[in-house]
Amino acid sequence: MSTFYEKYGGEDTVAKVVDYFYDLVLADDTVNHFFKNTDMEKQRRHQTKFISYALGGPNQYTGQSMAKVHEGMNLQPIHFDAIVKHLRDALAHFGVSEEDIVDALGKVGSLRDDILYK
């Protein structure tokens, strides 16, 4: 059985999803302020590697732990939920099946405790 990553076209597709995802995130006043001092080109590349790995692709993610990355941000459930909604919408926009979206969001959801209230 192919991984989600292979099924939808690998890193090229993930990069498109990530671009669309950040377009949604940056248009959302609930969460866009977290990125106001972020190098978005670097962030998009980094997130593409991370999401590729999360979806069954090769582990090219070399970043810090989720807890470390989000330290000092004090992210609340409303922020996490907004990000998850935008990821859901981006995956759906690129024709990912509902079953695969649920699976992908389950993987993201497993990181919730490492991200919130840091």
**Token digits of residue 108:** 């993201």
**Token digits of residue 62:** 């070399």
Residue 70 annotated as binding site? yes
DSSP string, 17-49: HHHHHHHHHHT-TTTGGGGTTS-HHHHHHHHHH
Point out the annotated binding site: 46, 70
Point out the annotated binding site for heme: 46, 70
